[in-house]
Amino acid sequence: MITFENVSKKYLTKHALSDVNVKIPEGKIIGLVGSNGSGKSTLMKMIAGLVAPSEGSVTIDEEAVTRRTASKVAYLSELDTYYSFYSVKETVTFFASQFPDFDTEKAYEILEFMDVDKEQKVKHLSKGNRGRVKIALTLARDVPIILMDEPLSGLDPMVRDSIVKGLLSFIDLEKQTVIITTHEVTEIEPLLEMVIAIRNGKVLALEDVETIRERDGMRIVEWLKKKYQEEA
Amino acid sequence: MGEEFNPSKPIYLQLVDRISWEIIKGERKTGEKLPSVREMAIQSGVNPNTVSRTYNELERMEIVETKRGQGTFVTEEKERLTQLREELKLNHIQNFIEEMKQMGFSSEDMIDGIRTYVTNEKENNA
């Protein structure tokens, strides 16, 4: 369980998060949705221990998030964070040297599943294949929490499909929790078990997706709009 | 990506409907093994926990059986499947009648309509 208690984050005068209270359960794939600049990435980075709260506390299984708990979290950033002059294989070796929980065999298995050539230099890969490499590097870590910031952004439907299939093939929800931010919500809706709505740094709701469908007869996007209107 | 789902009905129930439909149409045979939860999740692009829920529901309905360590199988109880077929028939009739009523047709209109349609179809095929 990931717990945010009265968490605020201020950058100079801007509130990135204000008074966030939310308990994120484990063993689920959870969507984090909200407009640009709503605080999604800040929330993710706090779980990863990359951003510290200005106020309040973030805990994973009742342990405060520090650089040490970061070993429980695999974080796929929106940005490209590898060395482009490495080959895919060298990148895998590099990641294995950085993370003791990195499963090299699994990384190759995922890359093969997604049809990525290991010998290619990262800088020569297509954008889609770079997206696939990032997914492989993230899923190859044997950690309880996987965070993915916009894993589908800017990729064509074929690549998005192979990434979703890769995700479903290589995560283990008995041991892992996955949190995903995306603008392609409708596309991955069947993948999500729960969803967190965030607006202007405030968490508006955490809800079961099947409940939204059954009770409100809505897609996540429509539900999010409704939540935004209620708040405005 | 995956398949389209109706936004106003839980996905686990839509999967229950789909699998029941496949069994009735004979695409999944009596006693046949269903894909594992993970395989089914990958095939349909659906959350594995949702698929588990689908399998639990099908089991509760006694349409499938889970054998420990072996997987989930379509029931071999033919009677249950006959009953399921009847349930689906009733279901479709209900939906049909509901929609026809909304369009303002009476029961007689519906029965006449069906009779005419079936007769025409028979003649066309003859």
pLDDT of B3 strictly over 70: no
Calculate what percentage of chain B has a pLDDT beyond 70. 98
Angle at A109 between CA A106 and CA A115, to 5 degrees: 145
3-state secondary structure of A66: coil
Residues of A in CB contact (< 8 Å) with B are: 27-29, 157, 160-161, 164-165, 168-169, 173, 187-193, 210, 213-214, 217-219, 222
Residue A141: its H or E element: none
Which ipTM score applies to this complex?
A: 0.86
Name the token pair of B106: 């009476």
What separation in angstroms does the CA of B32 have from each of B25, B41, B64, B81? Answer: 14, 18, 9, 13
Angle at A189 between CA A71 and CA A141, to 5 degrees: 20
The answer to whether the Cβ–Cβ distance between A192 and B47 falls below 8 Å is yes
Residue B47: its H or E element: none
Q: How far apart are CA A79 and CA A76, in angstroms?
A: 8
B33 beta partners? B73
Mean pLDDT of chain A: 92
Give per-residue pLDDT as tens, B16-73.
Answer: 999 999 999 999 999 999 999 999 999 999 999 999 999 999 999 999 999 988 999 9
Q: What b/e sequence results for A68-81 when a residue is b if at least 16 CB atoms lie within 10 Å of its CB, and e otherwise?
A: ebbebbbbbbeeee
Per-residue confidence (pLDDT) for residue B4, from 0 to 100? 80
Give the domains, in start order, of chain A with CATH numbers: 1-25+47-67 (no CATH), 72-188 (3.40.50.300), 193-232 (no CATH)
Residue A116: its H or E element: none
Which of A86, A20, A83 shows the shortest CA–CA distance to A53? A20
Whether the CB-CB separation of A131 and A162 falls below 8 Å is answered with no
Residues of B in CB contact (< 8 Å) with A are: 1-3, 5, 7-12, 38, 41-42, 44-50
Of the candidate ranges A73-77, A173-177, B57-61, the one whose mean pLDDT is the lowest: A73-77
| CATH top class, domain B11-76 | mainly alpha
Report the side by side order of strands in the sheet with A29-33: A73-76, A145-149, A177-181, A29-33, A194-199, A202-208
Identify the band that residue A184 occupies on the pLDDT scale cut at 50, 70 and 90: confident
Provide the 10 A C-beta neighbour count for residue A21: 12
Name the token pair of B36: 């594992």
Give per-residue pLDDT as tens, A8-63.
Answer: 999 888 889 999 999 999 999 999 999 988 999 999 999 999 999 999 999 999 89
Identify the band that residue A81 occupies on the pLDDT scale cut at 50, 70 and 90: low
Contacts of A188 in chain B (CB under 8 A): 1
